[in-house]
Amino acid sequence: MPSVFAYQSSEVDWCEPNFQYSQLVAEFYNTFSNVTFFIFGPLMTFLMRPYIQQRSRYLYVLFVLFTVTGLFSMYFHMTLSFLGQMLDEIAILWLLASGYSIWLPRCYFPAFLGQNRLGRGGPSVNPTGAHLSFRPFGIPPLNTPGLFPDPA
């Protein structure tokens, strides 16, 4: 098995031809389409500042994760490396999980959280989240249900 840092060490290859426009960028259009994440993440943070001040400062985390998702996705499509794939997928999963945790109504919170997003569940939720985030490095298909749910 090639190094996780090596170009094209990922098993995933999208439909775009590789290294067509540059010897350093594997998928040119997929790579540079992620620039929008660097524009809209900070722009949303700036435009939504009054809302964030009134509601929840956790939204800042969401916008930082949005920008980080763009960075990792850019790295993955630039190199098609296994590490890039894992960072891209984990960033997307953490962005989705953060969005759900911020906007989920309190009546749907699990009872062990005690009607608080960070409540009593913190000591058990954080290690579980870390474990579930890094376990797919050993078995990459474990991320697939979170990223591409079955529509049926």
Binding-site positions for Ca(2+): 13-14, 16, 18, 27
Distance CA 43, CA 63 (A): 9
Annotated binding-site residues for Zn(2+) read: 77
- Run of H or E residues at 59: helix 58-79
Long-range contacts of 66-72 (CB under 8 A, 24+ apart): 66/37, 66/40, 66/41, 66/95, 67/37, 67/38, 67/41, 67/42, 69/37, 69/95, 70/34, 70/35, 70/36, 70/37, 70/38, 70/41, 71/34, 71/37, 71/38
CB 3 within 8 A of CB 9: yes
Annotated binding-site residues read: 13-14, 16, 18, 27, 77
